[in-house]
Amino acid sequence: MELDQHAERVTEGSKVLADQGIVSQTVAPGLQQQQPERRSKTVLDKMKREGLSFSESAPVISGYFNYRDFLKDFYNYKRTSEKLGRRSYTYAVFAAAADIKSPNYLKLIMDGDRNLSADMIKKFARALGLSKRDVRDFDLLVNYTQQSDPVVKAKHLKDLLQHRIESQVLDGQLSGEAAKSVPSWLSWVVYQMMDLEFSDVNPEQIQKRLRVKPGVSQFEKAIESLIFGGLLEKEESGVLKRRTNKHLEDPNRLPPEVVKKLQTELILLGLESLFEDPNDKKDFGTATLCLTQTEFENLRADLRRLRKKWLMNIGVNRETSKGEVVYQLNTQIFPLTR
C-alpha cells in the first residue's frame, strides 16, 4: 500500500481532522493561554532591540520534535509575556524554579552544549509547569532528541508518536473509534499476505510466515482492526478471507500524527533489514541531489506516479496468480540544506 507524506501539516491537523468528521474542533483545556495585557510602545521597542519576538500563547510541547526548540520558545514566551511584571524572566528565574545551582544551565541546554539526565528532566518539567501527561511527552521528546543511534532514535520516535495519539484521544481531538480503526504497519502486512499461497489462511499460518515476530497482543490487534474495518472476514473454521471491493484506509485521510507513526515504523523495519537481510533479499540505494524547487516537485510527482503504477500493475497480477513474498517499498526525499 502507498503511504504518501502528509505529516508536515501538523499545525493544521485539528482543522483537517475536523473537516473529515474525525475529531472535534474544541480545544482541550490548557492548550490555549490567556493573552497577556496590551504592551506599551516603549516595551515593544525594547523587545525589538533585544531581538525578542512575542507569542500570544505559550508553546505546546506536542507540536515539537526537538525539545531544545521547545525550551527556546518557552523562554522567549516567558521573557516577552512577563515584560510588564515587576521583574523580567531570566535564566536565573528558571534555574530557581528547577532547583538548579547554575543560573545559565538552561542556556547551555538550549544551545546543545549539555544534555539532560533523567533527574534533570524531572527538574525541567517542574520549572516548565507541565501537566502529568506533558511530563511524559517531555521525557520521550528529550530521549528522542538526544539519541544518536538511528535505530534507537526511530524507536523513541515511535513511542513519542504513540503517546501523542493516545493524548489526542483523551483530549477529544481524535475519536477513540477512529484511532482503533487505523491500521498499523502489521495490519498492512497481514492484509497483503492474503495474496500469498496458503493451504489455510488462519492466524497461526500467518504468524509462521512473518519474519518480524510481533507480540501476541499486537498480532491479534492487527487482525481485529482489519476485521473491524471490514477488510477481512473470519469464517467459523477460523480461516481469514479478504472482503471484495475493500481497501485499506487512504493515507491522505489519516491524522498527521498517525501517518508519522506508520512511516516511522516502516522506516524502522527498513533499518532492521539493512543490518539483518542478505544483499540478494533486499535493495538499498541512495542519491544526494542538488535540485531547484521545480525539479524537486517534478521528482516527487514522478515518484508518486511510479508507486501508483506499481500498485496497479501488481494488483492486476494478483487477481490471476498468487504472490510469493510480501515486500516493503519505502521512498523518501527530504532536504539536507536550507
What does the pLDDT look like over 318-330, one tens digit per residue? 889 999 999 999 9
237 Cβ neighbours under 8 A, 6+ residues apart: 200, 202
- pLDDT given at position 56: 59
Share of residues in the chain with pLDDT > 70 (%): 75
What does the pLDDT look like over 142-191, one tens digit per residue? 999 999 988 888 889 889 988 998 888 887 777 666 666 566 788 889 88
Q: Which residues pair with 241 in a beta bridge?
A: 233
The yes-or-no verdict on residue 303 having pLDDT over 90 is: yes
- pLDDT given at position 179: 63
Mean pLDDT of 273-288: 91
Name the most confidently modeled range: 30-34, 90-94, 267-271.
90-94
The better pLDDT of the pair 190, 32 is held by 190
C-alpha span between 55 and 78 (Å, rounded): 9
Assigned C-alpha cell, 114: 549539555
- pLDDT given at position 2: 46
C-alpha span between 109 and 74 (Å, rounded): 13
Spatial CA neighbour of 327 closest among 211, 247, 236 = 211
The yes-or-no verdict on residue 6 having pLDDT over 60 is: no
Q: Is the pTM of this model over 0.75?
A: no
- pLDDT given at position 88: 84
C-alpha span between 249 and 300 (Å, rounded): 22
* Helix residue ranges, H only, 147-255: 150-171, 176-181, 185-193, 203-209, 216-228
- pLDDT given at position 213: 77
What does the pLDDT look like over 207-260, one tens digit per residue? 888 887 777 778 888 888 888 778 888 887 778 888 765 555 555 566 777 788
Dihedral of the alpha carbons of 224, 226, 230, 232, in degrees to the nearest 10:
-100
- pLDDT given at position 122: 96
pLDDT category of residue 87 using cuts at 50, 70 and 90: confident
Assigned C-alpha cell, 81: 509575556
- pLDDT given at position 19: 38
- Asked if 266 contacts 229 with a C-beta cutoff of 8 angstroms, the reply is no
- pLDDT given at position 251: 54
- pLDDT given at position 11: 34
- pLDDT given at position 3: 46
C-alpha span between 119 and 117 (Å, rounded): 5
83 Cβ neighbours under 8 A, 6+ residues apart: 39, 43, 46, 47
What does the pLDDT look like over 36-67, one tens digit per residue? 333 334 444 444 454 444 445 789 999 999 99
Per mean pLDDT, which range of 10-24, 156-170, 287-301 is the poorest? 10-24
- pLDDT given at position 178: 62
Whole-number mean pLDDT of the chain? 79
- pLDDT given at position 187: 87
The yes-or-no verdict on residue 275 having pLDDT over 50 is: yes
Query: DSSP code of 253?
Result: G
- pLDDT given at position 226: 85
What does the pLDDT look like over 99-116, one tens digit per residue? 999 999 999 999 999 999
- pLDDT given at position 25: 30
Per mean pLDDT, which range of 6-20, 83-97, 173-187 is the poorest? 6-20
